[in-house]
Structure 1
Amino acid sequence: MRRIDVVGITLGVFLVGGLAYLLLEKIGLDSMSAGIWSQVLLVGALIVWLVTYLTRVLGQNMTYNQQLQDYKEAVLQKRLEELTPEELEKLQTEIEQENQEGKVQKKANC
């Protein structure tokens, strides 16, 4: 996120808070109650944003994590494309052997 984006979001939050205050006064609340309720709305919105942020962090569903995963997949794909048919066949054979060894170990553990 760029600094100008942060500045824009901050100004937007202040404007929303001010508009909420004016709207609540217009509805008929006195200035003290309107101020309190506009703060309650802003703090509630902040808590909702925080919960969604923590959900994305704990679920590793952040932009950085997705970019890193895409990069790793692209590197692996490029390496696979650069393999000769003989190397690719050898790799497939090794993977099949590892899978069969894993199955044998799972059966032994059961």
Structure 2
Amino acid sequence: MNRGQAILLGIGIFALGGIGYALFQANGLEGFSAGIATSAVLTVLVLGWTSSYLLRALTGKMTYMQQRREYREAYDSLTNEQLQAKFDALSPEEQERLLRETGQLADDPSPP
């Protein structure tokens, strides 16, 4: 969130408070009672938003983290497919040599 968006969010919350105050007054609450009710509603909304943010942060389900996870999975999948295609293009002897070099294939024991 950039500075402009934060300012707009603050103005929106103030506007929501004013609208809430007018609605409470229209429904019969007067003066301080309407102000207290509006403050209570806004406090509950802000605490709910904050707690949902903390929950997403603690569980790792934030947008950026989710995007990174999905990007990494797609990158790994593509890389594995490309490596498999290159490996399949090698001759059987080259495949066997490569597997031995990487330790994926044990050397055949020589008869004594």
Q: TM-score, normalised by structure 2?
A: 0.69
Distance 1:7 1:61 in 2: 26
Identity %: 33
Match of 1:99 in 2: none
Q: What is the distance in 2 between the residues matched to 1:4 and 1:78? A: 39
2:87 corresponding residue in structure 1:
85
- What letter corresponds to residue 13 of structure 1 in structure 2? I
Inter-partner Cα distance in structure 2 for 1:60 and 1:71: 15
TM-score by length of 1: 0.70
> What is the Cα deviation at residue 77 of structure 1?
2.1
SS where residue 12 of structure 2 aligns? helix
Q: For residues 21-72 of structure 1, what are the alpha-carbon distances to aligned partners after superposition, in whole Å with 9 as ceiling and x for unaligned? A: 1111121212111111100000000111112111111110001111211221
Partner of 2:35: 35
Q: Specify which structure has the higher proportion of helix.
A: 1
What residue in structure 1 maps to residue 21 of structure 2?
21
Q: Which has the larger radius of gyration?
A: 2
SS at match of 1:29: coil
Using CA pairs under 8 Å that are at least 6 residues apart, name the structure with larger relative contact order, 1 or 2: 1
Give how far 1:74 is off: 2.7
Residues 52-67 of structure 1 correspond to what in structure 2 (within 5 A)? 52-67=52-67
What value does the CA root-mean-square deviation take over the aligned residues?
Answer: 2.1
Aligned partners of 1:81, 1:17: CA distance in 2, in Å?
55
- The alignment covers a number of residue pairs equal to 90
Residue 10 of structure 2 corresponds to 10
Name the residue aligned to 1:73: 73
